[in-house]
Amino acid sequence: KAGFSALWLSAGAWLGIILIYFLAAKIQTFGQYTIGDILEVRYGPLARLFGAIALVISFTAIVSYQFVAGGFILNVATDGAISDKFGIYLAATFVILFTALGGMVAVAYTDLPNGIIILLACLLSVPFVYAAAGGLKGAQAVLPPGYFAVVNEQFGLHPTLKALGYFFSTMFLLLGVQSMYQKFYSARSPKDAKKAVAFWTIGTIFVETMVVIIAVFSYSKFKDQINLSIPKEGGKVVLLAAKNLVPTPIGILLLGAACAVVISTGMNYLLSPSTNLIRDVYQRFINPKADDRKLVALQKVFIVIIGVLAFLLALRLKSVLEMSYFAYTIYGVAITPALIAALTWKRATRAGGLASIVSGTVVCIIMKILAEVLPAEKVPEGDPWGIPLIFPALFVSLASLILVSLLTKPPKEEDLQTFFPKKHEPQ
């Protein structure tokens, strides 16, 4: 629908990864296991609790549209023999059971092969899709000029504002997402962590640009078969390309790549909030002395509960893009400002961090409710009054963090030692 302007959504993630490059050493040497650990050490136990709540809401939403995508894939792959709805049932059942039974081992052993499949599928598909569309001139002859613009007018009432909204939502998500930090904890040294960021950035730019190229040039071929007034329809374009525009072996690989994205993302974003509920809520506030066996069993229960909630949400989902935007934003404005301040700003206080987390979450939820209850003409492209969700939510979150911190007593020097260790002067 947006053409190459869709890269605004990806570009925010690219910058987020690059910015993490400069935080990599501090993240890697801090040595805590979850984002909740960092929030509690800096802002107290309530920050840990409310941070966990925001994370669970966000990640449940992300899992929900993975199930929807899985339904799309099965529907297209079977020429409609499996309906979208039944496909959602099948995708949800597989991802929930596989994650619950396999846990972190399942995620670890599937991430690398999934990444290889995705990279190969995109790399091999682009030349065939480009040629099938008649090259750049062929696509431009069929599609409106906006598909090749920096900002597409299809972005809503305020296109540039919406483009920036997409950009900042993914940037703030990546800057604070727990799986990023867990990867840094596993690096052998801060130097290795920084090297990983460099390769990660290049690979992400390459793959996501190829995905947009495949989508845009494929749409020029299937324009008459896809009704963009139905939000879910646009998601089928890459799957149609896999069936019709590339040789069968590559098409199978491309469908496999789509499956890999759904499975990998679904599993990661089911496992992460279940870990948070175990560590940041149950183990921290309810049963600190629980043995490992009990914790593992309880985590499987949480995986199933979160998965079922995501499944129920998937059945009500109107737009994958709107839900992904909400999920990225609520996490980005609730967690990331407080998290980055914890690592970089000595003046941030417990009250300021907690105020930022709570206010960011509340504003996001209020704006989402308004988008559902206001008349359609007041909610262009899912934004109440045409204002992208991230701007009011981020403003309130940052303002709360800064103002409350400045109005409350500064943290003691000894409380900051974990994050800002003193450098020893040479003798």
Greatest Cα pair distance, the chain, in angstroms, is 76
Nearest to 92 by CA among 63, 118, 56: 63
Place of tokens 């909630």: 309
pLDDT at 106 over 90: no
The length of the chain is 427
SS3 content of the chain, % helix, strand, coil (to 5): 85, 0, 15
Upper half-sphere CA count for residue 13 (Cβ side, 13 Å): 19
Q: Do the Cβ atoms of 240 and 218 come closer than 8 Å?
A: yes
Band of residue 307 on the pLDDT scale cut at 50, 70, 90: very high
Contacts 24+ apart (CB under 8 A), 105-114: 106/267, 107/264, 107/267, 107/268, 107/271, 110/263, 110/264, 110/267, 111/264, 111/268, 113/260, 114/260, 114/261, 114/263, 114/264
Place of tokens 């109005």: 407
What's the average model confidence in pLDDT over 2-24? 86
Domains and CATH numbers, the chain: 3-319 (1.20.1730.10)
> What is each CA distance from 271 to 64, 105, 302, in whole angstroms?
14, 11, 9
Instruction: Give the tokens for residue 86.
Output: 């039944």
Instruction: Give the tokens for residue 268.
Output: 């990661």
> What is each CA distance from 57 to 62, 156, 276, 326, in whole angstroms?
9, 26, 12, 10
Q: Do the Cβ atoms of 8 and 163 come closer than 8 Å?
A: yes
Which residues, including other chains, have CB under 8 Å from residue 257's CB and lie 6 or more apart? 117, 118, 120, 121, 122
pLDDT tens-digit map of 145-197? 889 999 988 777 788 999 999 999 999 998 887 667 666 666 677 677 677 77
pLDDT tens-digit map of 350-396? 999 999 999 999 999 999 999 989 998 888 878 898 899 999 999 99
> What is each CA distance from 207 to 90, 176, 357, in whole angstroms?
27, 22, 33
pLDDT tens-digit map of 107-148? 656 667 877 888 898 899 999 999 999 999 999 999 988 899
pLDDT tens-digit map of 198-220? 787 888 898 899 999 999 999 99
Identify the pLDDT of residue 285.
Answer: 87
Instruction: Give the tokens for residue 321.
Output: 């893009």
CB atoms near residue 234 (< 10 Å): 18
CB atoms near residue 406 (< 10 Å): 12
Identify the pLDDT of residue 256.
Answer: 85
Identify the pLDDT of residue 28.
Answer: 60
Q: Do the Cβ atoms of 380 and 371 come closer than 8 Å?
A: no
Band of residue 12 on the pLDDT scale cut at 50, 70, 90: very high
d(CA 150, CA 240): 26
How much is the CA Rg of the chain, to the nearest whole Å?
Answer: 22
